[in-house]
Amino acid sequence: MHLNQISELIRKRRSIYPPMYSGTPISRDIIEEILENANYAPTHRLTEPWRFRVLSGAYLKKLSDFQGAFYKKHTPEELFSEKKYEKTIKKPLQCACVIAICMRRDPAESVPEWEEIASVACAVQNMWLTSAAYGIGAYWSSPKSIHAAQDLLQLEEGERCLGFFYMGNYEGPDLPAKRSPIDSKVNWLE
């Protein structure tokens, strides 16, 4: 791959949401490659803190039910929206799969926690770029329900969920980038 291809892939990567997914499955081989690329994220002191749970098939209905029940239980009556509730339960069902983005903190705490969170985020970026290269729509969401999903996700001791990576095949136009110029974010200290 040439540098211009890498730059183009990075700049074309977008959040693609479940209503835009085609409903066709993603092959297990592609999902495994996406996760293998995640495994090559930078990791300080080789703690490799990323952990993933791939939810597909009937398990998407379990996620849908969990998300719906969580929304009902934790939303005050005066703030409850039937439209938001319906969107919440429909979202996982529109996906080919959902990958729970989890982190296992290094038991020795050899690096600050924020560095391990950053490593997980880098792993997710690798997933996102690989998905984009395959024409797979994806986006990372971190709803409040992730803090109560230990049983649903069968998390092990020391693991926690940082979000859900919703995925589905997608065909559509390239979406424009919404970024301000880099010059507004850089100071050169020479």
pLDDT means over runs of 10, the chain (190 residues):
88 94 96 98 96 98 98 97 97 98 96 97 98 96 97 96 97 85 95
| Partner residues linked to 164 by β-bridges | 100, 141
What span, in angstroms and rounded, lies between the C-alpha atoms of 29 and 23? Answer: 18
What's the rounded Cα separation, in Å, for the pair 88 and 152? 16
Phi-psi region of 45 (alpha: psi -120 to 50; beta: other; left: phi over 0): left
| Residue 176 in domain | no
CB environment 91-109: b (16+ within 10 A), e (fewer): bbebbbbbbbbbbbebeee
Identify the domain containing residue 52 by its residue range: 13-168
The dihedrals phi and psi of 119, each to the nearest 5 degrees, come to -60, -40
CB 86 within 8 A of CB 108: no
Q: Does residue 173 fall inside a structural domain?
A: no
CATH of the domain at 97: 3.40.109.10
Supply the pLDDT for residue 1.
65
pLDDT of residue 115: 97
Total count of domains within the chain: 1
Does residue 77 lie within any of the structural domains?
A: yes
